[in-house]
Amino acid sequence: GENVEQHPSTLSVQEGDSAVIKCTYSDSASNYFPWYKQELGKRPQLIIDIRSNVGEKKDQRIAVTLNKTAKHFSLHITETQPEDSAVYFCAASRSGGYNKLIFGAGTRLAVHP
Amino acid sequence: DADVTQTPRNRITKTGKRIMLECSQTKGHDRMYWYRQDPGLGLRLIYYSFDVKDINKGEISDGYSVSRQAQAKFSLSLESAIPNQTALYFCATSDTSGGFYNEQFFGPGTRLTVL
C-alpha cells in the first residue's frame, strides 16, 4: 500500500544551525507534499507544501525540495531557533478524486540555545 | 475566526464501553477526516468524508464507525472500546476550492484513555 517513510525520528541541533528532515514515498502518482508542525500539546499546522510541478519552494527560513525521480522530498530549516522545537510531519497525496494524505511517522526536533 | 472544534477534549473510559467523539467546523469546508495519533506512528487516517452522503474507510477503520450528520459535523464512534484504542484523536477539514488538494485544518484533539 501507500507509504511515507520519514527520517530521522529525532533531531537535536544548536540554535543557529540548520536542520534537514527527509521523507520518501511509495506511490509514484503522489503530487502534493505538505509539511506540518506540531508544537507540544497543540494541533498540527501546515508550514509549507510543494506540488510536483516545482522542485523547490522557500518561505523565509524554511524550504522544501522534491525529487520525483527518486520519490523523496526534504524539509530544510536554516538559522534554527528554540521556537522551531516541535514534531514535524511530512505527507504525500494524489490530487483529484479520493485523494487523502499519507503521513510520515514524524521527526521530533529539539533546538538547544 | 472560523475553526474546527472537538468534544470532549479528554475522556477516560472502560473496556467495552461505547464512546462518541464529536467534531464541528465553522470553516464551511466540505471534506472532513478523523485521524489517530500514536507516538512514533504519526497520524493515521481512520475515516474520511467528502460530503454528507460520502463516507470512506481509511487505513485503520476496524473498531470504529463514523456519522456525517451535517456538512459541519462529523462524529467518530468506538462501539466497544479496547485499551489499544488509547490515543490522541484529531478531526480535520479541507475544502475543494481551486480544484487541487488543499490544506487540512486540524481540531485541537481528543485524548482518549481506555482502561
Cell triple for A51: 506540488
Give the residue-averaged pLDDT of A62-71: 95
| Residues A43, B107: C-beta atoms closer than 8 Å | yes
Residues of chain A numbered 71-90 and touching chain B (CB < 8 Å): 89
A81 CB-side CA count, 13 A: 3
pLDDT band at A52 (very low <50, low <70, confident <90, very high): confident
A103 CB within 8 Å of a chain B CB: yes
CB contact under 8 A, B42 and A32: no
From the list B76, B95, B79, the residue with the least C-alpha distance to B36 is B76
CA distances from A40 to A55, A61, A95, B37, B88 (A): 31, 21, 30, 13, 13
Residue B2: φ, ψ to 5°: -60, 140
Give the model's confidence band at A44: pLDDT under 50 very low, under 70 low, under 90 confident, else very high. very high
More confident residue, A1 or A58: A58
Three-state secondary structure string covering B22-86? EEEECCCCCEEEEEEEECCCEEEEEEEEEECCEEEECCCCCCCEEEEEECCEEEEEECCCCHHHC
Task: Give percent of chain A above pLDDT 70.
Answer: 96
Distance in angstroms (rounded) separating the CA atoms of residues B47 and B106 = 14
> What pLDDT, on the 0 to 100 scale, is given for residue B41?
84
- Tell me what the pLDDT averaged over chain B comes to: 93
Which residues of chain B have a pLDDT value below 70?
Answer: 98-101
Q: Is the Cα torsion angle B71, B72, B78, B79 positive or negative in sign?
A: negative
Is residue A97 predicted with pLDDT exceeding 90? no
- Which DSSP string corresponds to A27-72? -TT--EEEEEEE-TTS--EEEEEEETT-SEEEETTEEEEEETTTTE
* Nearest partner of B33 among B19, B44, B20, judged by Cα: B44
Q: What torsion, rounded to 10 degrees, do the Cα atoms B45, A43, B37, B86 define? A: -120
Residue A96, min C-alpha distance to chain B (Å): 6
Interval B54-79: pLDDT, tens: 999 998 999 999 999 999 999 999 99
Residues of chain B contacting A, Cβ within 8 Å: 33, 40-45, 48, 50, 56, 58-59, 90, 100-101, 103-104, 106-109
Q: With bands split at pLDDT 50, 70 and 90, how would you rate the model's confidence at A100?
A: confident
Contact between residue A51 and residue A35 where contact means Cβ atoms under 8 Å apart: no
User: SS3 of A19, please?
Assistant: strand
